[in-house]
Amino acid sequence: MAGANVTHLTDADFEATIKSSTPCLVDFWAPWCGPCKAIGPVIEELADSYAGKVVVAKMNVDENPATPGKFGIRAIPTLILFKDGNVVDQVTGAVGKAQIQTMLDRAI
């Protein structure tokens, strides 16, 4: 099933998820965002191919406004890669799969 390895985060469980030693890629998105919809299938595909190596998560910025505010997110989609609770990489916009893979590979 596509996207079975994607974790859906809320403001309440965000901190616990990103504090892991396993890298965690968070896709900050919203249902009305066209570029977010475009990158969605890529995120799901990467979640499946990096299962067990990287936690891939999505956070709806409309439903969870506190966390995006903490990280100064002004545009979506924004992808932030965390390791041990720290930001190790970040990209904004509908970037290509290869760029995201490079980001993930550097963190593993």
Q: Counting beta carbons within 10 angstroms of the beta carbon of residue 11, is it exposed (0 to 12), middle (13 to 18) or buried (19 or more)?
A: middle
**Candidate list 18, 25, 26, 36, residue with the active-site label:** 36
Note if 33 is an active site residue: yes
User: What's the first-to-final CA gap in the chain, in angstroms?
Assistant: 24
Note if 36 is an active site residue: yes
**Which residues are registered as beta bridge partners of 58?**
8, 27
**Candidate list 18, 24, 33, 55, residue with the active-site label:** 33
Nearest CA to 24 out of 38, 40, 13 is that of 13
**CB contact at 8 A, 56 and 50:** yes
Residues that are catalytic: 33, 36
